[in-house]
Amino acid sequence: MLFTEKKAKLALKKVFGYDEFRPGQLEAIMDLSSGKDVQVIFPTSHGKSICYQIPAICSKGTALVVSPLISLMKDQVDALLEKGVDAAFLNSTLSPKRQTEVMDMLKNDELKILYITPERFKSSSFKTTLIDSNISIFAVDECHAISAWGHDFRPDYRRLGSVKEALDVPTIALTATATTVVQDDIETQLKMQNVSKYIHGFDRPNLEYSIELFSDQFLKETAIKKHIIKIAKEGGDPAIFYCGTRKQTDRIVQIVKSIKGLKIPSIAKYHGAMKDKDREKVQGDFMSGKTPWIAATNAFGMGIDKANVRNIIHVSVPGSVEAWYQEVGRAGRDGKDSRCNLFYCQRDLGLQWFFINIANPSKYVFENVWDLLWSYGDSVVQMTQKKFYDDYKIRCGSSDSSGCISTAVRVLKKSGAIDPNSSRGQMVLMDYPNRRPVELYLDFDKLEEKEKMDRDRFGRMLNFINGYGSIRNRVLRYFGESTNE
């Protein structure tokens, strides 16, 4: 036994100020203490981090926490330091000097918790240092990213299974969204043994769910406008409008600003094409309350922890149940009643199938892109994306979308066919002048499998929005928590 239940409860009170654990937390903590591997599936705000922070505080050595969320690491570490917990992080934002300092702290056993990104394990010397250090537990946050069946697969996570074996310490895998298929794959990929699994908190009683289908776009927008007026009349509480495209964010802002005769809260748009400083300002204004309403693509929300969001409005169908649940989970974190509405029409479904097609170019597209790149007769292909697309259409006589071609180029960069560090407007062929077939860089069977999984995920979303029973019970069934039906 690494520590006792009494010690865990004392740490909860002394460090975090809580009198009691939430359902599932103490059980997961004590299983980890007894040497078991643990999988925790708790929704956002249910307290996943407590499940590794308490064991880290109560054990000798350093808890190693893998997380892909660089933007949140500093906040997590700062919060722990304020509570008197020795914590640090290692990621690409740190100077070489600071990285060395953190590694020295690890070697000298001066840390209770160290946050790292999965990319760190590309370094064999880093792995050697870990093995030589006093690691107490191994925690993998956002663990759904290790599964190709998950909604946010990240190849760098695939190294973690061998790391887990090398460290040979109790392991805890945590996520807010994982179907039973993903849960099983997480255990396999992380090489977990004797696993205890805890699924709690998916029932959010304070959230009121609604899904409405309309026969056309006009009727959908009419209903959205009525809903906006209702929110405004009730006081204009904070709201996030999740949109499928940048153009849709413009349209929602336009609808809001067209309403006259009412006191309408200010609204701003947010999407990935905006400059960093503009996105930061919009996010800051939303968090402070200066701009209560946001019309955003799914680029908005990661790391957003605003307690009093009262309305989540989806004006298009998300690509997966996991994405939808993650986004509605940003409502009512203070426990007060909040609404989550989804408005859609058949046209929205076509948009998601379009996105899936763009994200999964055919073998024919990859071959055409590869042929075009080599036709320029130089190791460095320098031109705008539009010029490359125009050349593609002329050479291939094809109607393939520019988005599909851009995806093909990104995949070729990831595969090492094109230098991933190519400057903007450049594509550097890695093996020039020795041309190799594109099949030597890409595994087309795996690419086909990825496309099938993308289509299956959206198929499950369609089953969800058209499913039987209450939306609340559909959520619980989907994530494997018991229902009253």
**pLDDT, tens only, 390-411:** 999 998 887 788 999 999 999 9
The answer, yes or no, to whether residue 243 has pLDDT greater than 70, is yes
5-199 under CATH 3.40.50.800, yes or no = no
Given a cut of 60, whether residue 152 has pLDDT beyond it is no
Q: Which of 192, 150, 165 is nearest to 38 (CA)?
A: 192
Checking if the pLDDT of 177 tops 80, the result is no
Answer whether residue 349 shows pLDDT above 70.
yes
Q: Are 466 and 472 in contact (CB under 8 A)?
A: no
Can you read off the two tokens belonging to residue 59?
């054990």
DSSP code string of 203-257: --TTEEEEEEEESSHHHHHHHHHHHHHHHHHTT---EEEE-SSHHHHHHHHHHHH
> Could you give the CA distance from residue 468 to residue 471 in angstroms, rounded to a whole number?
8
For 367, the token pair is: 């071959």
* Lowest mean per-residue pLDDT among 17-26, 108-117, 293-302: 293-302
CATH number of the 207-352 domain: 3.40.50.300
Per-residue CA distances from 469 to 212, 214, 259, 473 (Å): 15, 20, 35, 7
211 phi and psi angles, rounded to 5 deg: -130, 125
| pLDDT, averaged across the chain | 91
pLDDT of res. 145:
82
Counted residue by residue, the chain has a size of 485
Using the 8-state DSSP alphabet, how is residue 429 labeled? B
pLDDT at 75: 83
In terms of pLDDT, which residue wins out, 305 or 417? 417
- 3-state class of 401 per DSSP? coil
Mean pLDDT for the stretch of residues 256-263: 92
How far, in Å, CA of 178 to CA of 165, rounded?
Answer: 23
Q: What number of other Cβ atoms are within 10 A of residue 482's Cβ?
A: 10
Question: Residue 247 class from Cβ within 10 Å (0-12 exposed, 13-18 middle, 19+ buried)?
Answer: exposed
The two counts, helices (H) then strands (E), for the chain are: 18, 15
Q: Tell me, what's the pLDDT at 149?
A: 57
Cβ-count burial of 433 within 10 angstroms (0-12 exposed, 13-18 middle, 19+ buried)? Answer: exposed
At residue 344, the 3 state secondary structure works out as: strand
Confidence of residue 389 (pLDDT cuts 50, 70, 90): very high
* Longest Cα separation, the chain: 72
At residue 450's C-alpha, the angle toward residues 449 and 451, to 5°, is 90
pLDDT digits (tens, 9 = 90+) for 89-130: 998 888 999 999 999 999 999 999 999 998 888 888 888 899
Residue 344 has pLDDT above 80, yes or no: yes
| CB 183, CB 40: distance < 8 Å | no
Which residues lie closer than 8 Å to 128 by C-beta, 6 or more apart? none
Please tell me if the domain spanning 207-352 has the same topology as the one spanning 360-442: no
Which residue(s) pair with 214 in the sheet?
345
Arithmetic mean of pLDDT, 203-215: 95
Q: What is the mean pLDDT of residues 189-209?
A: 90
In 3D space, the residue among 62, 167, 56, 173 whose CA is nearest the CA of residue 109 turns out to be 62
Select from 58, 103, 114, 107 the least CA-distant residue to 81: 114
pLDDT of residue 144: 84
Best CA proximity match to 237, nearest among 338, 341, 305? 338
Q: Where are the domains of the chain?
A: 5-199, 207-352, 360-442
> Pairing between strand 62-66 and 135-140?
parallel
Question: Alpha-carbon distance 271 to 298, whole Å?
Answer: 8
Determine what percent of the chain is predicted with pLDDT higher than 70. 97
Does the structural domain 360-442 have CATH classification 3.60.20.10?
no
pLDDT bracket for residue 153 (50, 70, 90): low
pLDDT at site 169: 94
- What pLDDT, on the 0 to 100 scale, is given for residue 481? 78
Question: What is the dihedral sign for C-alpha 224, 226, 229, 233?
Answer: negative
- DSSP bridge partners of 114: 64, 88
pLDDT of 68: 81
Question: Which residues touch 92 (CB under 8 Å, ≥6 apart)?
Answer: 70, 117, 119
Asked if pLDDT for residue 335 goes beyond 60, the answer is yes
Q: Tokens 């892109």 appear where?
A: 369
Tokens of 402: 């520019």
Comparing 11-20, 39-48, 232-241, 262-271, the range with the smallest average pLDDT is 39-48
Residue 423: band (very low, low, confident or very high) from pLDDT cuts 50, 70, 90: confident
Per-residue three-class SS string for 286-320: HHHCCCCEEEECCCCCCCCCCCCCCEEEECCCCCC
Helix (H) / strand (E) element for 338: namely strand 338-345
Average pLDDT over residues 431-449: 92
Confidence of residue 261 (pLDDT cuts 50, 70, 90): confident
